[in-house]
Each structure stands twice: as structure tokens, then as C-alpha cells.
Structure 1
Amino acid sequence: MTEYPTARVGDFCRTGSGSTPSRSQLERYYQGGAIPWVKSGELREGIVVATEEYITAAALKETSVKLVPAGAILLAMYGATVGRLAILGVEATTNQAVCHIVPDAKAADTRYLYRAIERQVPAIIAMGVGGAQPNISQAVVKDLSIPLPNLPEQRRIAAILDQADAHRAKRREALAQLDSLTQSIFIEIFGDPVSNQMRWPELTFDQTVCDETSRAAKTLQADYLDVGSFPIVDQGQKPVAGYTNDETKLCPSPLNH
């Protein structure tokens, strides 16, 4: 495995967080706004190009909200989405729950850095403070140690990982389509089981099965053999819990499995 030099995120990136313009100034800070304002709930492991809310130039001028350049990596620092990542596809602002990470273009490729941070998200969350939803501080982000090969190698690694993700996405899509096709074929042949369009006879569960419990013929667990002529199926255990050679313990009819 190739060993790359490492560097702290704070040594080659600028980090920061945003804020929420006062909601009491809706008309001045929000209505008619054209500046994207990203909330942590909008980070969905992709590229953010549009937001649910926009703010005005007055909000940018009069509050502590900051413009973040396109290409920055966004990390949710707390709340239900803590640890979630995205790449900013347009110049935008964020709320206080989002940490922006702006790499030095001469030191790090955005896609590579995104992947490197993504790999460490579980460790980042573990270093947070709090209970079920820990808070991540910018100090933790800045102190992250990232393998940092030269830029061409970073781009090569990022391209490989992007391609692997694309293949996984196609596979998930194919499986979803196959599942949908299977359901469609079932309904085409048998009809919708809820509405019973085919008017199939309806039976209760106990009318469709035969109770073949062992009752008094049950083999005691102490009598299970490691090797024998007949397998023993035991509730709550592996498919075959042991074996017996006693024919009197056999089920009167075959079990479907």
C-alpha cells in the first residue's frame, strides 16, 4: 500500500460556518432574496446547486452570514444530519450548523478531499460532544489528518472512487427495476392481492398449513447428535440444530422450507 504524506485540514484549507438571519426581518432578509442559503438538512452526499431558501443582499451585508465559494465542501456539524457531507456547486451562504471547508487549489483537489473526509466521518462524529446527536466543532475538522499525495494522484484516486460509486448506483437502480418488474409480473398473473381482482378463494392462515409440531415426540437437546441420519430443526436456532437416528421422532409429512 502506498504511503502518502499527511497534512492537517487546517494547514491547507479555510474553514468557517454561517448563521441564520433574523426571522423577524422576513421582508428585509428573505423575501425576494436571490442568494442561496444552505441548511444542514440539505446536505445529501451530492452537489448543492439549489436551496430551499434564499436571502437578500441586505442579509449578507447586515448579518454574520458569509458567502462561500463554489467548490467548498460542506459538513453538517450537529443535529439529525450530523456528519453529512456535500460539495457546494454554486456560490452560497449557509446556516450555523454547516461547516464550510475551502481547500487551497494548489494543495488539494475538491473531489479527493471530499472522499478523504467522507472516509473519516465516523471518527469525526466519535470526536464530537453530546449524546445521541453529538456536536462537531471546527477545531475537530481543522485537526483532521488527511493523506495528501500530489494533485495528479489526488485526481486519479477521486476519479476511481467516483467511477466505483457510479457502478454501485447503476447496480442499485437495476435491482430496483428488477424488484418492480417482479411485482408487476406477480400482479399480472395473480392480480392485486389486496383487491383480489381475480376472485381467488380466500383462506385463513391455519387453513393453508398443517400443524406438525413434535409434541411428545420431541428430541431433547441433550440427545442431539453431531452426525446422524435425520436432521433436527429447532426453533430459534440454525436451520439444522443437530441430528438423530431415531425414526420414531420423524415428522409424519415432509416440511417445506
Structure 2
Amino acid sequence: MSKYSKDNENIKGKRMSDWKTVKIGDICEQINGVSYKPADVYDSLNENATVLLRANNIFEDKLNYDELVFVDKKRVSDIQYMKKGDILICASSGSKHLVGKAACLSEDKELTFGAFCKVLRPKTVNPEFIKHYFFSPSYRTEISRLSEGANINNIKAADLDNLTLPLPTESEQKKIAKQLDKCIKIINNQKRSLEKYDLLIKSRFIEMFGDNKYPKISISEMIEGKVPSAKKLFNKTDEIKYIDISSVDNKINEIVGYTEYIFEEAPSRAQQHIRKNDILISTVRPNLKNIAINRLDYKETVASSGFCVLRPKCVPEYLFVAVLQDKFTSDMVAVTTGANYPAIKDSDVLNYEISNPPLKLQQQFAAFVQQIDKSKFAVQKSLEKTETLYKSLMQQYFA
């Protein structure tokens, strides 16, 4: 019997059925985010400003510190400064898939958060235990149910407070938190291994094709042309697999999920029909790093209009890694337009010039990528197994 199994049996032996059911509002304090105007924003952090987090700073159940806002401290009340153990939740978004995503602040930092977010501050519950509830399938299912049919994609304060979960004793909370944290640690290590493989691929790309060794051509010359409109290919009742920004894991640059719809019920953004080996580049900030190659071999796959889709006529692996380079992303950030919704145009991508090495070298590089992908596949399978265990434990504890 594994260590996880023994720990789980010990916890189950405590008669989980005896755990009391509590409301989130009884064990956590709910705090609203900071409202501010453009005049309250600074270009950089200084003695008059503090870091403000937004929904885009919540990714994969963790906080990232990209695309930060620096807001005047005068706009922030004492209670709106975050504390270690706080749960930051996206409370309002243009996409229902983003509403409810959450992350826990695991360290002491001077931070606040915007008005489209809320913070739940643990009062009478172990913070290390309760954070896992907000990553659980039970929580996501309930949030999806609450947002069904809503015209505005947000979570009401009362809905958050009325969420319920089974609550074990304080000592059991600590044991469960420790067990789940072990799973998370393994998952994070496996993800870091995948990131290292990706860095190895990028390094090989620079070694083979960097320093302007070969003439440059525009990306438009390396692709077949505009991908077809999904509206022309599907009937209203056809079942489709829809890919949007949240479907792309920008740590491993892969599509990690999709949402199934009847075509007529899919979001209006579901406009582009894609096929295997198409490359998807997000055109909206702060998601320009969301770049993926489609390995799904489904004829009914549809992508959001928020992607520029490239259909390579060159070697797909070569073009894919070319647009993964940091220079490409930084150059795209530099040409974004729009004050409220900064974005790049498809033409910005298509007119971008990259090296055009001989086909034989592209194929050699693709062979190297494919070898690395075999190693990545083994790690990915192990990661999926650990993630399945983690989800199973959360379903058991929080359902």
C-alpha cells in the first residue's frame, strides 16, 4: 500500500461522514477589490503605489506576477491589502470559463487586488486546507452551475458565501492539507521538467537558426492561407470541440482541454475551423504567450477568434518553435493597440519575418523535437496520473 493510500485510509477511518457541513461565509471573510481610475495608475512601483493583482494574474491555481498594475495607495483600504493564506478569486469576466478561478497567496507580500476580483480570508479554518477546496472539481461544478443562464458573467457575494463543504476537525484539516500539498509538489516538479524540455528545444533552435544565418521571409509565406470559417462548415446541431484561451497551457505550449458544444450554442467567438498541426497564437494581451500547436486529430475542432491560426506549409515544428521565441512575443507586445482591450492584429503576425532555412535543416530540427517529445510524453503521462490522484482526493474530501 502506498504512502498516499495509508494516509487516505487513516483519514477515512476518522468517519468522514461525521464531518459537519459549513458555508464558506461562516469560515471565511469576503473582501471586495479596489476600484480605481486611469489617473490612479503609475507606470512603475514607487513609494506612493502598490501592486494590484487582476484576474489575469491567476493561472493554474497559482499567482503569477506578469502584466502588473501599480495603483495609488490612497485607493486601497487597510482590509484590501492581501495576507498570507488569502484566496484570490476572479469574480467577473467576459468569459464564463474564467469566472471563479482561484489562487492562494502563499507568502507575505504587499499586494492588493482589482474590483473584478474578490478575496476570501480564512477565519476559522486552516488556510492550507481550504485553499484546495477552490481547486476542486466540486467547486468548479458549483461555479459553473451558478453562472448558467446569467447575462453577466460574475459571482454574487451571496453565492460565494453560500457555497458549502464538509469540514473535518482541525487536526484532520492539517493532515489532509499535508497530503494534498505533497501531490501539488510532485505535480509542480513534473511541470518544471516539461518546461526544461521546452527550454532545450528553444536553445537548439537558436543554435541552428539564430544569428541571421539564413534569409528572412514573412510568416504569411510559410503558411497555406486563411483557415476556413466554422460557420460555413458546421450545421447548428453539429457537436464541436471548442478551444479558447483557457484551453492553452502556456507552460507547456499545448492544448490541454476543450469545451464541447452544439455549434449553435457555442460562444460567438467560435469561428475558426482548425485541424491537426495548426498553430494557435493568442492575439489579446495579457495572453500573448498562449501559443500552442494543435495535436488533436478531430475534424470538428473549432478555435476562438481570439487566436491567429497558422496552417504551415513548411515543417510545422520549425514554425511553431519560431513563434515560441521570446523575441517574437516581445515584438508582438510592442505593436499592441487599443486602450481597453490591447491586442495585436492577425496582420502583425503574418507580416512578421523569420529565418527561412533549407527544408533539410527544418526536418533535422523536427526530428530533434520529436525525440524530445518522446521524453516529454513519459513525464506528461506521469503528470496526468498524479493529477488524477489529486482530483480524486479532492472529490473525496470536498464533494
The one-letter amino acid of 2:131's match is Y
Change (3 A) 1:32 1:142: same
Query: Which secondary structure state, in structure 1, belongs to the residue aligned with residue 80 of structure 2?
Result: coil
Residue 143 of structure 2 corresponds to: 124
Aligned length: 191
Write the mapping of 1:37-76 to structure 2, written as runs, cut at 5 A.
37-44=52-59, 45-47=61-63, 52-60=68-76, 66-76=80-90
RMSD across aligned C-alpha pairs, in angstroms? Answer: 3.8
Which structure 2 segments of 5+ residues have no match? Answer: 1-11, 209-316, 319-355, 364-399
Residue 150 of structure 1 corresponds to: 169
Report Cα offsets for 1:171-207 as digits up to 9, x if no partner: 34445656887996xx99xxx9873476899xxxxxx
Write the mapping of 1:84-123 to structure 2, written as runs, cut at 5 A.
84-88=101-105, 89=107, 90-104=109-123, 107-119=124-136, 120-123=139-142
Contact 2:147 2:154 in 1 (8 A): yes
Please tell me whether residue 10 in structure 1 is matched to residue 45 in structure 2: no
Question: How far has the Cα of 1:23 moved from its partner?
Answer: 1.5
Query: For the residues of structure 1 that align with 2:28 and 2:362, how far apart are their CA atoms?
Result: 66
Query: Which secondary structure state, in structure 1, belongs to the residue aligned with residue 119 of structure 2?
Result: strand
Question: How far has the Cα of 1:10 moved from its partner?
Answer: 0.6
Question: How far has the Cα of 1:42 moved from its partner?
Answer: 0.8
Higher helix share: 2
Query: For the residues of structure 2 that align with 1:140 and 1:108, how far apart are their CA atoms?
Result: 19
Write the mapping of 1:212-231 to structure 2, written as runs, cut at 5 A.
none
Query: For the residues of structure 2 that align with 1:134 and 1:125, how far apart are their CA atoms?
Result: 10
Query: Which secondary structure state, in structure 2, belongs to the residue aligned with residue 20 of structure 1?
Result: coil
Change (3 A) 1:174 1:37: closer
Contact 2:34 2:76 in 1 (8 A): no
TM-score of the pair, normalised by structure 1: 0.60
Please tell me whether residue 170 in structure 1 is matched to residue 189 in structure 2: yes
Residue 381 of structure 2 corresponds to: none
Residue 195 of structure 1 corresponds to: 357
Residue 225 of structure 2 corresponds to: none
Question: How far has the Cα of 1:16 moved from its partner?
Answer: 2.0
The one-letter amino acid of 1:165's match is I
TM-score of the pair, normalised by structure 2: 0.41
Query: For the residues of structure 2 that align with 1:200 and 1:53, how far apart are their CA atoms?
Result: 41
The one-letter amino acid of 1:195's match is P
Residue 77 of structure 1 corresponds to: 91
Contact 1:36 1:51 in 2 (8 A): no
The one-letter amino acid of 1:77's match is A
Query: Which secondary structure state, in structure 1, belongs to the residue aligned with residue 134 of structure 2?
Result: helix
Contact 1:18 1:65 in 2 (8 A): no
Contact 1:72 1:87 in 2 (8 A): yes
Contact 2:40 2:71 in 1 (8 A): no
Query: For the residues of structure 1 that align with 2:52 and 2:193, how far apart are their CA atoms?
Result: 35
Residue 209 of structure 1 corresponds to: none
The one-letter amino acid of 2:135's match is E
Change (3 A) 1:199 1:77: closer
Query: For the residues of structure 1 that align with 2:197 and 2:87, how far apart are their CA atoms?
Result: 35
Report Cα offsets for 1:23-42 as digits up to 9, x if no partner: 23447xx8753322111111
Contact 1:73 1:87 in 2 (8 A): yes
Query: For the residues of structure 2 that align with 1:60 and 1:23, how far apart are their CA atoms?
Result: 15
Contact 2:87 2:119 in 1 (8 A): yes
The one-letter amino acid of 1:69's match is K
Report Cα offsets for 1:36-76 as digits up to 9, x if no partner: 21111111212467871222332236xx9933333211111
Structure number with larger C-alpha Rg: 1
